[in-house]
Amino acid sequence: MFSYDFPPYRPPNEASSALIRASRGCPWNKCVFCTMYKTLKFHPRSVEDVKQDIDKAVQMFPRARAVFLADSDSLVMKHIEDILQYIRQRFPHAERITSYARAKTLLKLGPTRLASIKVAGLTRVHVGLESGDAETLAFLQKGATPEEMIAGGKAAKDAGLELSFYLLIGAGGRQRLRQHAVESARVCNAVNPDFIRLRTLIVQHGSLLEAQRNAGRYTPTSPLEKLREVQMFVKHLTVHDCELASDHLTNYLWWNHQVVYHGIAGNLPEQQREMLAVLSSTLETLSDVEDEVLDATLLYDQGYISSL
Ligand code: SF4
């Protein structure tokens, strides 16, 4: 029988990548907003099993240009270089081999090990920054401070890896909106990631965040407050050679049964003004109907979106 351990999650831009599950679950598994691996105890898969899946993936995608390693933090694996070398050997057309990684893991691996992982074939890491605000990170139980995010991000870049930071819009709630926007820009400016990808926070059913919200310790922002937060964040960015993307449906806004905002995207700093202009004009257009604008959070709460 043809069995293959498909990872349950991957970044949207890895949709056409060959997906290889090197480990299952998340070794941290404590972030209050995340429900991805709550019922799964983290464990690395055996190198032999992973290699068998790589062989099967080669049959399915012999000319794959990109390979993504799952689940959430496979770089903690002792033999990750063996797996990467095998991917490199079996996927000769792959221009990109990427993985999720926690900033704290990058920091712990240090320059020598990261250089060895890079030589073995990894080209990019996807890192959940979520926020650069210390209080927000602590509230989210992210397990890293802003300074550790900076150090982990820089460690990846120093090792020659491309870095994709994920920012969680709405993470500070109404209480920390400004600090979340400004401090997140500060962390991005200090690291200068190659990519900044925006995700909007959804309070998922069954998440620890839902309990915090119900207890009044987290107040979600409205759709237009989220736009103002993005505007403040982008205004404070001074990064260069960086691509900003909003490649997720959670960033959309709806009004009158139509998508009226698809998120912003562009190169920084070249398209910073252009992106800010889109935000200003969207805010201006929607301000008269502010109470009727819907975001993914509201649609999720109303049952129109079930999985994200
Ligand atoms: S957000 Fe990432 S690091 Fe946090 S629990 Fe979920 S998978 Fe783990």
Which DSSP category does 74 fall into? G
- Rg of the chain in Å (alpha carbons): 19
How far apart are the CA of 100 and the centre of ligand 1, in A? 10
Structure tokens at 260: 């009226």
Q: What's the pLDDT band for 1 if we cut at 50, 70, 90?
A: very low
Q: What's the pLDDT band for 2 if we cut at 50, 70, 90?
A: low
Mean pLDDT in residue range 93-103: 97
Cβ–ligand 1 contact at 128 (below 6 Å): yes
Cβ-count burial of 240 within 10 angstroms (0-12 exposed, 13-18 middle, 19+ buried)? exposed
Between the alpha carbon of residue 133 and those of residues 97, 145, 195, the distances in Å are: 30, 8, 19
Q: Which pLDDT band, with edges at 50, 70 and 90, does 307 fall under?
A: low
Q: In what order do the strands lie in the sheet with 294-295?
A: 258-261, 253-255, 294-295
Name residues whose C-beta falls within 8 Å of residue 23's C-beta, 6 or more positions apart in sequence: 42, 43, 44, 45, 70, 71, 73, 74, 76, 77
Instruction: Name the residue among 100, 80, 106 with its Cα closest to residue 159.
Output: 106
For residue 288, the CA-to-ligand 1 centroid distance in Å is: 38
Tally Cβ neighbours within 10 Å of residue 262: 14
Is the Cβ atom of 175 under 6 angstroms away from ligand 1?
no
Q: What is the pLDDT of residue 308?
A: 63
82 and 117 in contact (C-beta within 8 Å)? no
CA 225 to chain CA mean position, Å: 21
Q: What is the mean pLDDT of residues 54-60?
A: 95
In terms of pTM, does the model score above 0.85? Answer: yes
From atom 5 of ligand 1, which residue's Cα is the shortest distance away? 29
- pLDDT tens, residue by residue, 266-289: 999 999 999 999 999 999 999 999
Q: In DSSP terms, which residues pair with 68 in a beta bridge?
A: 19, 98
